[in-house]
Amino acid sequence: MNDTFLMLGIESSCDETAAAIVAADGTILSSEVASQMDIHAAHGGVVPEIAARAHLDAIDMVIDAALTTAGVGIDAIDGVAATGGPGLIGGVVVGTVTAKAIATARGIPYYAVNHLEGHALSPRLVAPVPFPYLLLLVSGGHTQLLAVHAPGAYERYGTTMDDAAGEAFDKSAKIMGLGYPGGPAIERLAAAGDVTRVRLPRPLKGADHCHFSFSGLKTAVATRHAALADADDDAEPADLAASLQAAIADCLADRARRAMNRFATTHGASILVIAGGVAANRAIFTRLEGEATEAGFDLVVPPAWLCTDNAAMIAWAALERRQDPDGLDFAPRPRWPLDPDAAPPPGRGVRA
């Protein structure tokens, strides 16, 4: 293999336009992100049409910035990878078309990367994490537990039946008037709250499977927030935020514990990786750290910047299979499950 192989990664699946240059040995030469957070904050969440337009406006600038920071020209790039799904299709199309144009103009290989696989393989970019390992992917759009056997080889243990954990944070924050993004706002407010003052449900806690459900929790937050205006209710918004954060942490810990038991039965106690934006929440990290220690698992969490959407993980996922590029006829996918053969949760459909 050519150890000087440089991969340009492009990420545009939601509200971040990102580009990165990563070398075959894992050296991150650059990682640039243009955030749309301020644009969408006014709407209380991501508006797909606005996001697609913003990606189109920013993508050339972000790629140029990544090349400049890396100190290389486009002629030094040996391969180009872009998120091919899942995600908001308008943004995915922008990244895909751009990557294909670069690959065609330069005559270099093109890689269509599953956004979820980018998260799944991200810990191997910064640490020697051996296969197989257990992954808890917990973000704004996805909450899944998967056994990661190798690039392209995933066994899904559980997924969300409705809202993802990050959605529960964002939608609850909107109900409480805390703005977007909701996760960090809830975490900041929760720091001043009393977790014992508000009782909230723990959906599916103790169930005999590894699936998640957070929609009912969001509804309970809405009901209790409305009650805060009652003069007889002495709870504060900070107490509600603390209780919500604790409820989500309890649900994630309960499902992760069951998944670790299942994984250990086949593979022995190994490594639990937490990836995705919600992994940056300290209360959730602490709760899962305790569960992993009790189960005999090592806990690995990529740096916070690598847990949120970024292009370095997209470049790395392509490098993990760089001898197997994709054809230029690849079609972007709004849904793209890592384990297409996994059975749906009982009584529900599947969110990919």
**Which residue type occupies 277?**
G
Q: Respond yes or no on whether the N-terminal peptide bond of residue 86 is cis (omega within 30° of 0).
A: yes
Binned at pLDDT 50, 70 and 90, residue 39 comes out as: low
CA distance 82 to 44: 27
Q: Residue 285 above 70 pLDDT?
A: yes
pLDDT band at 252 (very low <50, low <70, confident <90, very high): very high
Q: Is the pLDDT of residue 275 over 70?
A: yes
Four-way CATH pick for 130-301: 3.40.50.12780, 3.30.420.40, 3.40.50.2000, 3.60.15.30: 3.30.420.40
Residues of the chain with pLDDT > 90, as a percent, come to 79
277 pLDDT band, cuts 50/70/90, is: confident
The predicted pLDDT at position 313 comes to 97
Judge whether residue 36 has pLDDT over 80: no
**Better pLDDT: 47 or 100:** 100
Q: What was the pLDDT predicted at 1?
A: 45
**Would you place residue 280 in the very low, low, confident or very high pLDDT band (cuts 50, 70, 90)?**
confident
Tell me the mean pLDDT in the region 238-245: 96
Alpha helices in the chain (DSSP H): 37-41, 48-70, 89-106, 115-121, 123-126, 165-175, 182-190, 215-227, 237-267, 282-295, 304-307, 312-319
Average pLDDT over residues 327-334: 96
Model pLDDT, residue 52:
78
The interaxial angle of helices 282-295 and 182-190, nearest 10 deg, is: 80
CA distance 128 to 251: 29
Rounded CA gap, 176 and 115, in Å?
Answer: 30
Distance CA 292, CA 144 (A): 17
**pLDDT per residue over 124-137, tens digit each?**
999 999 999 999 99
Distance CA 138, CA 85 (A): 17
pLDDT at 352 over 70: no
- The C-alpha torsion from 49 through 96 and 162 to 310, rounded to 10°, is -100
Q: How many CB atoms lie within 10 A of CB 343?
A: 8
- Fold annotation for 6-122+306-319: Nucleotidyltransferase; domain 5 (3.30.420)
Residue 350 pLDDT level (bands cut at 50, 70, 90): very low
So where are the chain's domains? Answer: 6-122+306-319, 130-301
